[in-house]
Chain A
Amino acid sequence: MRRLSIILSLVAAAFLARGAAAQIAVDLSKHQIEITAGFDGAELLLFGYDSKGAEVVVIVRGPPETVSVREKARTAGIWINQDEVTFERAPSFYFVATTEGLRGDGQLESILEGLGVGPRYLGLTAQDTDLSDERVEEFRSALINLREQDQLYAKEPGRVLMRDDRLFRTTVPFPSGTPIGDYTVTVYEVVDGWPLLGAETPLHVRKAGFGAFVSNTAHDHPALYGIVAILIALVAGWFGGWAFRKS
């Protein structure tokens, strides 16, 4: 905690030194998460400075991806995937948190609606489908609920702490299944329910070490990878049989 306060005061000093021009800023304890063989989730410290000491909203978004949501229905006694809705550019990760003052019912939602970036307003646009709007909405909620279960989507009003009326900070949890890619971390200053100023900082999640080597080889040289996989298994199987025949 002491080291944290030192960091925070240094940051504050740096921002103050730049004068009144910098009114909101944000940074992370690390700009890169490396998914190594032992990766089991991570937690980053997000901190920043707002000259007004206003309420803030923090949003962490993973790279967008195309996602299909399928619904099982009973046919001839068996549950089979039937209706399907495809969402383009659904964020692979989404975390939003606010300061205490924006904790009230629907407050966060209306701000996010203004920004067009809330969990219910994720820009989850469905591809053309024959299903009614209500049905598409069911699929949209299902997607959000499933991602919330996997801790990939989270909404945490009141999680951001404000100190000395200028400095804010919060922790951002990343589960073991954190998707790789380039993330954006954005913070907004909110005055009277309106987001005024924003600041941004990057975050990269990438595979590293042996795991990265394996996955890169699998994708860049798939045929070679297949042959090596077979050779490794042949040697391992032969060795296993040999070792136990000797004993």
Chain B
Amino acid sequence: MHVYLPIAEISVNMFLLIGMGAGVGVLSGLFGVGGGFLMTPLLIFIGVPPAVAVGSEANQLVATSITGVLAHWRRKSVDFKMGFVLLTGGVIGSTGGVFLFKALQQLGQIDLVISLCYVVFLGIIGLLMFSESVRSMLKQKRGVARRGKLHKHTWVHGLPFKMRFHKSRLYVSALLPLFVGMLVGVLAAIMGVGGGFIMVPAMIYLIGMPTSVVAGTSLFQILFVVANVTFLQAWQNQTVDILLALLLLFGSVLGVQVGTRLGAKLPSEQFRVLLALLVLLTCGKLAFDLVATPGNPFSIALGGGH
């Protein structure tokens, strides 16, 4: 059954959209990621204009992240103070990102920048995840657990404006989470992702937060960043398709539950490798599209160029 998306201005099979939502939802539930990095390229692939894909996906992520934040709040695994510093950076970054998006769109280079961002970030994260989970699988086999230093002092600890974060048991410069939040905010606006896949490693390895509060706190910040992106994209560019977001949402709400239940039954290490491979596969496909000779080098854009 076809449904005409009023903002994307294309007619798409309704069950395809719900199915995509469900499929990405299962993966989100399984791996605890938002899934924006899979959904946005998929939407562009089925013909949704990139700007509408990014805006509507941000809208859908508002729903996904509020569900997560509420669950973590009940378990008291959100560091609100850290979250506020992160989201201050996130709101600044994503606001800048939306305007950058508009400028790149007028230059005709937005598709290129979206693809390049995906290739670079998915490539780095995928490789890191892959090598780490393979290493820990090997370690498990050998049964050796090496213990690292409890606290390493690096350049990060020399930054000014130090702040105490009780929940995370940290005393670090506020500039660090502010900067991480900003970077993720820019990416959220340009790539149509929540940015959890960059946020989580940055919180663990760069800021040094304990893993117990990482997921809840990153979701807390993502909620505000995607809400900000949704608002700005709707206000500035009119590129949020509520109908598209709702259809994806409907599928993903169901999918996430299936994924979470599935995830509890399956060995997590092997699945981390699978997620890494999935990330690398998406990266590889996008990289291939950048270098492969296109079927038709010409494309049409409405409205005047520069």
Assuming the contacts A71-B297, A223-B235, A233-B245, asked whether A84 and B305 have C-beta atoms less than 8 A apart, the reply is: yes
B302 touches A234 (CB 8 A): no
A73 touches B297 (CB 8 A): yes
Task: List the A side residues contacting B112 at CB < 8 Å.
Answer: 78, 80-81
A161 within 8 A of B: no
Chain A's closest residue to B306 (CB) is: A84
Complex CA distance for A50 and B1, rounded to whole angstroms: 41
Task: List the A side residues contacting B71 at CB < 8 Å.
Answer: 241
B257 touches A244 (CB 8 A): yes
B43 within 8 A of A: no
Assuming the contacts A65-B302, A233-B230, asked whether A79 and B4 have C-beta atoms less than 8 A apart, the reply is: no
A84 touches B300 (CB 8 A): no
Chain B's closest residue to A232 (CB) is: B242
B46 to chain A, nearest CB (A): 13
B238 touches A211 (CB 8 A): no
Complex CA distance for A91 and B282, rounded to whole angstroms: 37
Chain B interface size band reads 35 or more
Task: List the A side residues contacting B10 at CB < 8 Å.
Answer: 176-177
Complex CA distance for A218 and B241, rounded to whole angstroms: 9
One digit per residue, 1 when the CB lies within 8 angstroms of any chain B CB and 0 when it does not, for chain A 209-226 equals 011101100110011011
A241 touches B70 (CB 8 A): yes
One digit per residue, 1 when the CB lies within 8 angstroms of any chain A CB and 0 when it does not, for chain B 236-252 equals 10101111011001000
Contact of B234 among A142, A212, A225 (CB under 8 A): A225
Contact of A143 among B64, B230, B235, B300 (CB under 8 A): B300
B63 touches A237 (CB 8 A): yes
One digit per residue, 1 when the CB lies within 8 angstroms of any chain A CB and 0 when it does not, for chain B 128-140 equals 0000000000000
B300 touches A218 (CB 8 A): no
Chain A's closest residue to B70 (CB) is: A241
Chain A interface size band reads 35 or more
Task: List the B side residues contacting A176 at CB < 8 Å.
Answer: 2, 4, 10-11
Within residues 183 to 216 of chain A, which ones have a CB less than 8 A from any CB in chain B?
A: 207, 210-212, 214-215
B79 to chain A, nearest CB (A): 21
Assuming the contacts A79-B294, A233-B245, A236-B253, asked whether A38 and B3 have C-beta atoms less than 8 A apart, the reply is: yes
Complex CA distance for A127 and B304, rounded to whole angstroms: 10
B300 touches A69 (CB 8 A): yes
Task: List the B side residues contacting A142 at CB < 8 Å.
Answer: 296, 298
B210 within 8 A of A: no
Complex CA distance for A209 and B233, rounded to whole angstroms: 24
B7 within 8 A of A: yes
Complex CA distance for A208 and B111, rounded to whole angstroms: 31
A66 within 8 A of B: yes
Chain B's closest residue to A238 (CB) is: B66
Complex CA distance for A78 and B234, rounded to whole angstroms: 32
Assuming the contacts A36-B4, A211-B243, asked whether A238 and B108 have C-beta atoms less than 8 A apart, the reply is: no
B17 within 8 A of A: no
B218 within 8 A of A: no
Contact of A84 among B2, B6, B108, B238 (CB under 8 A): B108
Chain B's closest residue to A139 (CB) is: B298
Complex CA distance for A89 and B111, rounded to whole angstroms: 25
A37 within 8 A of B: yes
B67 within 8 A of A: yes
Task: List the B side residues contacting A146 at CB < 8 Å.
Answer: 296, 298-300
B4 touches A211 (CB 8 A): yes
Going nearest first, the 6 A-B pairs with the smallest beta carbon separation are A226-B234, A237-B63, A142-B298, A176-B11, A240-B253, A233-B62
Q: Which residues of A contact B (CB under 8 A)?
A: 35-41, 65-74, 77-81, 84, 86, 127, 139, 142-143, 145-147, 176-177, 207, 210-212, 214-215, 218-219, 222-223, 225-230, 232-234, 236-238, 240-241, 244
6 contacts between A and B (CB under 8 A): A68-B300, A78-B112, A81-B112, A214-B242, A226-B231, A229-B59
Q: Which residues of B contact A (CB under 8 A)?
A: 1-7, 9-11, 59-60, 62-67, 70-71, 108-109, 111-112, 227, 230-236, 238, 240-243, 245-246, 249, 253, 256-257, 290-294, 296-306
